Copies of this chain bind each other. A is one copy, B any other.
Amino acid sequence: MTTSPFRDPPSLADIEQAAARIAPYAERTPVLRSAVLDEQLDCNLWFKCENLQRAGAFKFRGACNAVFSLSDAAARRGVLTQSSGNHGAAVALACRLRGIPATVVVPRSAPRMKRDAIAYWGARIVDCDTHQAARDAATEAELESTGASLVLPFNDARVIAGQATATAELLQDQPQLDTVIAPISGGGLLSGAALAAHAHNPDIRIIGAEPSGARDAFDSLASGQRITGRIAHTICDGLRAELGPMTFDLLRSHRAEILLVDDSETVHAMRKVFEQLKLVIEASAAITLATLFKYRDRFRGKKVGVILSGGNLDLDRLPWQDPT
Protein backbone atom coordinates (compact mmCIF):
# COMPACT_ATOMS: atom_id res chain seq x y z
CA MET A 1 0.00 0.00 0.00
CA THR A 2 1.21 3.48 -0.77
CA THR A 3 2.36 5.04 2.47
CA SER A 4 1.84 8.48 3.84
CA PRO A 5 4.52 10.75 5.26
CA PHE A 6 2.34 11.28 8.34
CA ARG A 7 3.25 8.16 10.27
CA ASP A 8 3.01 9.35 13.85
CA PRO A 9 -0.45 9.00 15.36
CA PRO A 10 -2.24 12.23 16.18
CA SER A 11 -2.07 13.79 19.62
CA LEU A 12 -4.94 15.36 21.51
CA ALA A 13 -3.58 18.73 20.41
CA ASP A 14 -3.78 17.55 16.79
CA ILE A 15 -7.45 16.72 17.28
CA GLU A 16 -8.17 20.11 18.84
CA GLN A 17 -6.35 21.83 15.97
CA ALA A 18 -8.31 19.75 13.47
CA ALA A 19 -11.58 20.84 15.10
CA ALA A 20 -10.60 24.49 14.77
CA ARG A 21 -9.28 24.02 11.22
CA ILE A 22 -12.42 22.37 9.83
CA ALA A 23 -14.93 24.48 11.78
CA PRO A 24 -15.48 27.02 8.96
CA TYR A 25 -16.25 24.24 6.45
CA ALA A 26 -17.65 21.16 8.18
CA GLU A 27 -21.10 20.78 9.67
CA ARG A 28 -21.47 20.33 13.37
CA THR A 29 -23.85 17.44 12.76
CA PRO A 30 -26.90 16.95 14.97
CA VAL A 31 -27.27 14.16 17.50
CA LEU A 32 -30.64 12.43 17.26
CA ARG A 33 -32.48 10.03 19.50
CA SER A 34 -35.25 7.48 19.02
CA ALA A 35 -37.59 6.59 21.87
CA VAL A 36 -38.70 3.54 19.87
CA LEU A 37 -35.18 2.15 19.37
CA ASP A 38 -34.23 2.88 22.99
CA GLU A 39 -37.27 0.91 24.07
CA GLN A 40 -36.57 -1.98 21.69
CA LEU A 41 -32.95 -2.27 22.83
CA ASP A 42 -33.43 -1.32 26.48
CA CYS A 43 -30.55 1.14 26.35
CA ASN A 44 -29.99 4.81 25.57
CA LEU A 45 -28.72 5.68 22.12
CA TRP A 46 -27.41 8.96 20.77
CA PHE A 47 -26.92 8.97 17.01
CA LYS A 48 -24.22 11.25 15.63
CA CYS A 49 -25.51 11.99 12.15
CA GLU A 50 -22.45 12.06 9.94
CA ASN A 51 -24.70 11.22 6.99
CA LEU A 52 -25.63 14.90 7.35
CA GLN A 53 -21.98 15.93 7.06
CA ARG A 54 -20.89 17.72 3.91
CA ALA A 55 -20.49 15.36 0.97
CA GLY A 56 -22.63 12.94 3.00
CA ALA A 57 -20.07 11.25 5.26
CA PHE A 58 -17.63 11.74 8.16
CA LYS A 59 -14.86 11.46 5.56
CA PHE A 60 -15.08 15.18 4.94
CA ARG A 61 -13.66 15.86 8.40
CA GLY A 62 -10.38 14.08 7.78
CA ALA A 63 -10.05 15.22 4.19
CA CYS A 64 -10.76 18.81 5.12
CA ASN A 65 -8.23 18.74 7.94
CA ALA A 66 -5.54 17.30 5.69
CA VAL A 67 -6.22 19.61 2.75
CA PHE A 68 -6.33 22.76 4.87
CA SER A 69 -3.18 21.83 6.78
CA LEU A 70 -1.08 21.93 3.59
CA SER A 71 1.26 24.84 3.07
CA ASP A 72 0.23 27.22 0.31
CA ALA A 73 3.14 26.03 -1.82
CA ALA A 74 2.18 22.38 -1.44
CA ALA A 75 -1.52 23.12 -1.90
CA ARG A 76 -0.88 24.76 -5.27
CA ARG A 77 0.46 21.44 -6.59
CA GLY A 78 -2.85 19.83 -5.67
CA VAL A 79 -3.92 16.78 -3.72
CA LEU A 80 -3.96 13.14 -4.75
CA THR A 81 -5.79 10.23 -3.17
CA GLN A 82 -7.05 6.79 -3.94
CA SER A 83 -10.62 5.93 -3.03
CA SER A 84 -13.60 4.04 -4.31
CA GLY A 85 -16.04 6.09 -2.34
CA ASN A 86 -16.72 8.72 0.25
CA HIS A 87 -13.10 9.70 0.92
CA GLY A 88 -12.62 10.59 -2.73
CA ALA A 89 -15.68 12.87 -2.75
CA ALA A 90 -14.56 14.40 0.54
CA VAL A 91 -11.10 15.22 -0.80
CA ALA A 92 -12.66 16.61 -3.96
CA LEU A 93 -14.95 18.92 -1.99
CA ALA A 94 -12.20 20.01 0.42
CA CYS A 95 -9.95 20.88 -2.54
CA ARG A 96 -12.75 22.78 -4.23
CA LEU A 97 -13.26 24.79 -1.05
CA ARG A 98 -9.55 25.56 -0.93
CA GLY A 99 -9.47 26.26 -4.66
CA ILE A 100 -6.82 23.67 -5.56
CA PRO A 101 -6.82 20.69 -7.92
CA ALA A 102 -7.76 17.20 -6.72
CA THR A 103 -6.99 13.89 -8.37
CA VAL A 104 -8.61 10.66 -7.24
CA VAL A 105 -7.45 7.20 -8.33
CA VAL A 106 -10.67 5.20 -8.56
CA PRO A 107 -10.92 1.44 -9.16
CA ARG A 108 -13.29 0.53 -11.97
CA SER A 109 -15.36 -1.50 -9.45
CA ALA A 110 -16.39 1.59 -7.48
CA PRO A 111 -20.14 2.23 -7.13
CA ARG A 112 -21.29 4.51 -9.91
CA MET A 113 -22.96 7.04 -7.63
CA LYS A 114 -19.83 7.40 -5.53
CA ARG A 115 -17.76 7.92 -8.66
CA ASP A 116 -20.31 10.53 -9.79
CA ALA A 117 -19.94 12.37 -6.48
CA ILE A 118 -16.17 12.57 -6.89
CA ALA A 119 -16.67 14.08 -10.32
CA TYR A 120 -19.46 16.36 -9.10
CA TRP A 121 -17.06 18.12 -6.74
CA GLY A 122 -14.66 18.72 -9.57
CA ALA A 123 -11.90 16.17 -9.02
CA ARG A 124 -10.01 14.57 -11.88
CA ILE A 125 -10.59 10.81 -11.86
CA VAL A 126 -7.86 8.33 -12.79
CA ASP A 127 -9.28 4.90 -13.49
CA CYS A 128 -7.42 1.75 -12.48
CA ASP A 129 -7.99 -1.92 -11.84
CA THR A 130 -9.42 -2.97 -8.52
CA HIS A 131 -6.52 -4.81 -6.91
CA GLN A 132 -4.33 -2.85 -4.55
CA ALA A 133 -1.15 -3.18 -6.63
CA ALA A 134 -2.85 -1.50 -9.60
CA ARG A 135 -4.21 1.26 -7.37
CA ASP A 136 -0.78 1.85 -5.88
CA ALA A 137 0.92 1.87 -9.29
CA ALA A 138 -1.53 4.46 -10.61
CA THR A 139 -1.11 6.53 -7.48
CA GLU A 140 2.70 6.47 -7.67
CA ALA A 141 2.63 7.46 -11.32
CA GLU A 142 0.34 10.41 -10.59
CA LEU A 143 2.46 11.48 -7.62
CA GLU A 144 5.54 11.65 -9.78
CA SER A 145 3.93 13.50 -12.63
CA THR A 146 2.01 16.06 -10.54
CA GLY A 147 4.01 16.60 -7.36
CA ALA A 148 0.65 16.59 -5.56
CA SER A 149 0.31 15.91 -1.84
CA LEU A 150 -0.99 12.48 -0.92
CA VAL A 151 -3.98 12.33 1.45
CA LEU A 152 -4.72 8.67 2.09
CA PRO A 153 -8.11 7.57 3.40
CA PHE A 154 -7.10 6.43 6.90
CA ASN A 155 -3.46 5.66 7.55
CA ASP A 156 -2.65 9.35 7.94
CA ALA A 157 -2.49 11.26 11.21
CA ARG A 158 -4.13 14.35 9.73
CA VAL A 159 -7.06 12.28 8.53
CA ILE A 160 -7.44 10.39 11.81
CA ALA A 161 -7.36 13.66 13.74
CA GLY A 162 -10.14 14.97 11.51
CA GLN A 163 -12.30 11.88 11.94
CA ALA A 164 -11.77 12.11 15.71
CA THR A 165 -13.65 15.40 15.77
CA ALA A 166 -16.95 13.58 15.18
CA THR A 167 -16.60 11.74 18.48
CA ALA A 168 -15.20 14.81 20.23
CA GLU A 169 -18.33 16.77 19.27
CA LEU A 170 -20.59 13.92 20.32
CA LEU A 171 -18.96 13.82 23.75
CA GLN A 172 -19.21 17.58 24.11
CA ASP A 173 -22.94 17.23 23.56
CA GLN A 174 -23.33 14.01 25.59
CA PRO A 175 -20.47 13.76 28.08
CA GLN A 176 -22.09 10.90 30.00
CA LEU A 177 -21.65 8.26 27.28
CA ASP A 178 -20.06 4.98 28.41
CA THR A 179 -19.81 3.36 24.96
CA VAL A 180 -19.03 4.56 21.44
CA ILE A 181 -19.74 2.36 18.42
CA ALA A 182 -18.65 3.05 14.86
CA PRO A 183 -18.16 1.01 11.69
CA ILE A 184 -14.66 -0.28 11.02
CA SER A 185 -12.94 -0.55 7.68
CA GLY A 186 -9.45 0.98 7.44
CA GLY A 187 -9.87 2.12 11.02
CA GLY A 188 -9.57 5.88 10.65
CA LEU A 189 -12.98 6.62 12.10
CA LEU A 190 -12.71 4.11 14.94
CA SER A 191 -9.17 4.99 15.97
CA GLY A 192 -10.15 8.65 15.91
CA ALA A 193 -13.15 7.77 18.07
CA ALA A 194 -10.88 5.94 20.51
CA LEU A 195 -8.46 8.86 20.78
CA ALA A 196 -11.23 11.40 21.34
CA ALA A 197 -13.23 9.22 23.71
CA HIS A 198 -10.31 8.15 25.91
CA ALA A 199 -9.09 11.73 26.16
CA HIS A 200 -12.53 12.46 27.60
CA ASN A 201 -12.89 9.34 29.76
CA PRO A 202 -10.48 6.38 29.63
CA ASP A 203 -13.27 3.97 30.64
CA ILE A 204 -15.41 4.47 27.53
CA ARG A 205 -15.81 1.22 25.60
CA ILE A 206 -14.86 1.47 21.93
CA ILE A 207 -16.77 -0.91 19.67
CA GLY A 208 -16.07 -1.48 15.98
CA ALA A 209 -18.86 -2.95 13.86
CA GLU A 210 -17.47 -5.08 11.05
CA PRO A 211 -19.10 -7.21 8.32
CA SER A 212 -18.59 -10.97 8.77
CA GLY A 213 -17.47 -11.06 5.16
CA ALA A 214 -14.71 -8.47 5.72
CA ARG A 215 -13.44 -9.47 9.16
CA ASP A 216 -9.79 -8.52 8.89
CA ALA A 217 -9.98 -6.11 11.84
CA PHE A 218 -11.61 -8.74 14.05
CA ASP A 219 -8.97 -11.34 13.16
CA SER A 220 -6.11 -8.86 13.26
CA LEU A 221 -6.91 -7.65 16.76
CA ALA A 222 -7.65 -11.18 17.99
CA SER A 223 -4.37 -12.55 16.67
CA GLY A 224 -2.24 -9.49 17.37
CA GLN A 225 -1.07 -9.54 13.74
CA ARG A 226 -2.33 -7.23 11.04
CA ILE A 227 -3.95 -9.35 8.35
CA THR A 228 -3.93 -8.12 4.77
CA GLY A 229 -4.62 -9.37 1.27
CA ARG A 230 -8.04 -10.88 1.78
CA ILE A 231 -10.96 -10.24 -0.53
CA ALA A 232 -13.96 -8.69 1.18
CA HIS A 233 -17.49 -9.97 0.60
CA THR A 234 -20.06 -7.53 1.88
CA ILE A 235 -22.70 -5.13 0.62
CA CYS A 236 -21.11 -2.50 2.86
CA ASP A 237 -19.09 -0.89 0.08
CA GLY A 238 -17.43 1.49 2.51
CA LEU A 239 -16.12 -1.30 4.73
CA ARG A 240 -13.92 -3.28 2.35
CA ALA A 241 -10.56 -1.74 3.26
CA GLU A 242 -8.07 -3.29 5.66
CA LEU A 243 -6.43 -1.78 8.71
CA GLY A 244 -3.28 0.20 8.14
CA PRO A 245 -0.24 0.02 10.45
CA MET A 246 -1.18 3.20 12.29
CA THR A 247 -4.84 2.38 12.82
CA PHE A 248 -3.99 -1.20 13.82
CA ASP A 249 -1.62 0.05 16.51
CA LEU A 250 -4.08 2.64 17.75
CA LEU A 251 -6.97 0.21 18.00
CA ARG A 252 -4.80 -2.31 19.87
CA SER A 253 -3.52 0.21 22.35
CA HIS A 254 -7.04 1.55 22.97
CA ARG A 255 -8.44 -1.98 23.42
CA ALA A 256 -11.10 -1.56 20.74
CA GLU A 257 -13.51 -4.47 20.57
CA ILE A 258 -14.70 -5.68 17.16
CA LEU A 259 -18.12 -7.29 16.70
CA LEU A 260 -19.16 -9.07 13.52
CA VAL A 261 -22.55 -8.95 11.83
CA ASP A 262 -23.94 -10.46 8.66
CA ASP A 263 -25.12 -8.33 5.76
CA SER A 264 -28.72 -9.51 6.20
CA GLU A 265 -28.68 -8.10 9.73
CA THR A 266 -27.25 -4.85 8.45
CA VAL A 267 -29.96 -4.52 5.80
CA HIS A 268 -32.63 -5.06 8.44
CA ALA A 269 -31.09 -2.39 10.64
CA MET A 270 -30.74 -0.03 7.69
CA ARG A 271 -34.46 -0.17 7.07
CA LYS A 272 -35.07 0.47 10.76
CA VAL A 273 -33.02 3.67 10.56
CA PHE A 274 -35.01 4.85 7.54
CA GLU A 275 -38.27 4.04 9.34
CA GLN A 276 -37.56 5.15 12.87
CA LEU A 277 -34.90 7.85 12.55
CA LYS A 278 -36.11 9.07 9.12
CA LEU A 279 -32.50 9.21 8.02
CA VAL A 280 -30.99 8.07 4.73
CA ILE A 281 -27.89 6.08 5.61
CA GLU A 282 -25.77 3.65 3.68
CA ALA A 283 -25.33 0.03 4.70
CA SER A 284 -21.83 0.78 5.97
CA ALA A 285 -23.40 3.08 8.56
CA ALA A 286 -26.34 0.83 9.45
CA ILE A 287 -23.97 -1.89 10.59
CA THR A 288 -23.72 -0.07 13.93
CA LEU A 289 -27.39 -0.52 14.72
CA ALA A 290 -27.26 -4.10 13.45
CA THR A 291 -24.50 -4.76 15.98
CA LEU A 292 -26.54 -3.25 18.78
CA PHE A 293 -29.46 -5.52 17.92
CA LYS A 294 -27.35 -8.66 17.53
CA TYR A 295 -25.41 -8.22 20.76
CA ARG A 296 -28.12 -6.41 22.66
CA ASP A 297 -27.33 -8.15 25.96
CA ARG A 298 -23.98 -6.40 26.02
CA PHE A 299 -25.52 -2.96 25.65
CA ARG A 300 -28.51 -3.22 27.99
CA GLY A 301 -28.74 -0.14 30.20
CA LYS A 302 -25.74 1.49 28.52
CA LYS A 303 -25.41 5.02 27.21
CA VAL A 304 -24.20 4.46 23.68
CA GLY A 305 -22.96 6.97 21.13
CA VAL A 306 -23.54 5.64 17.61
CA ILE A 307 -21.64 7.13 14.69
CA LEU A 308 -23.90 7.01 11.64
CA SER A 309 -21.01 7.35 9.26
CA GLY A 310 -22.55 8.20 5.91
CA GLY A 311 -25.59 8.43 3.68
CA ASN A 312 -24.38 7.97 0.12
CA LEU A 313 -26.14 5.16 -1.70
CA ASP A 314 -27.94 4.27 -4.87
CA LEU A 315 -31.60 5.15 -4.38
CA ASP A 316 -32.78 3.39 -7.52
CA ARG A 317 -33.09 0.28 -5.39
CA LEU A 318 -32.72 -0.16 -1.66
CA PRO A 319 -31.10 -3.33 -0.38
CA TRP A 320 -34.23 -4.66 1.30
CA GLN A 321 -36.22 -4.38 -1.90
CA ASP A 322 -36.58 -7.44 -4.08
CA PRO A 323 -34.58 -7.29 -7.28
CA THR A 324 -36.77 -6.21 -10.15
**What residues of chain A have their CB less than 8 Å away from a CB belonging to chain B?**
30, 32, 35, 49, 51-52, 54, 56, 271, 274-275, 277-281, 311, 315-318, 320-322, 324
Verify A321–B311 contact, CB threshold 8 A.
no
| Cα distance A32–B29 in the bound complex, in angstroms | 9
| Cα distance A30–B30 in the bound complex, in angstroms | 7
| Cα distance A271–B314 in the bound complex, in angstroms | 11
Question: Closest Cβ of chain B: how far from A177's Cβ, in Å?
Answer: 20
Verify B51–A315 contact, CB threshold 8 A.
no
Question: Closest Cβ of chain B: how far from A118's Cβ, in Å?
Answer: 15
Q: Which of B51, B316, B321 touches A278 (beta carbons < 8 Å)?
A: B51
Verify B278–A274 contact, CB threshold 8 A.
no
| Cα distance A311–B277 in the bound complex, in angstroms | 9
Return the chain B residue nearest A31 by Cβ: B30
Name the B residues within 8 Å of A321 (CB-CB): 316-317, 321
Question: Closest Cβ of chain B: how far from A198's Cβ, in Å?
Answer: 28
Name the B residues within 8 Å of A51 (CB-CB): 278
Question: Closest Cβ of chain B: how far from A212's Cβ, in Å?
Answer: 25
| Cα distance A203–B275 in the bound complex, in angstroms | 38
| Contact A54:B32 (CB < 8 A) given known A280-B278, A280-B280 | no
Name the B residues within 8 Å of A275 (CB-CB): 280, 315
| Contact A315:B318 (CB < 8 A) given known A35-B54, A54-B35, A279-B278 | yes
Question: Closest Cβ of chain B: how far from A49's Cβ, in Å?
Answer: 8
For the complex with contacts A278-B281, A324-B324, 4 further pairs of A-B residues with Cβ separation under 8 Å are A30-B32, A56-B278, A275-B315, A316-B321
A-B contact pairs, 29 of them (CB 8 A): A30-B30, A30-B32, A32-B52, A35-B54, A49-B278, A51-B278, A52-B277, A52-B278, A56-B278, A271-B315, A274-B280, A274-B315, A275-B280, A275-B315, A278-B279, A278-B280, A278-B281, A278-B311, A279-B279, A279-B280, A280-B280, A315-B318, A315-B320, A316-B321, A317-B321, A318-B318, A321-B321, A322-B324, A324-B324
Return the chain B residue nearest A57 by Cβ: B278
| Cα distance A281–B54 in the bound complex, in angstroms | 19
Question: Closest Cβ of chain B: how far from A131's Cβ, in Å?
Answer: 31
Return the chain B residue nearest A36 by Cβ: B120
Name the B residues within 8 Å of A271 (CB-CB): 315
Name the B residues within 8 Å of A280 (CB-CB): 274-275, 278-280
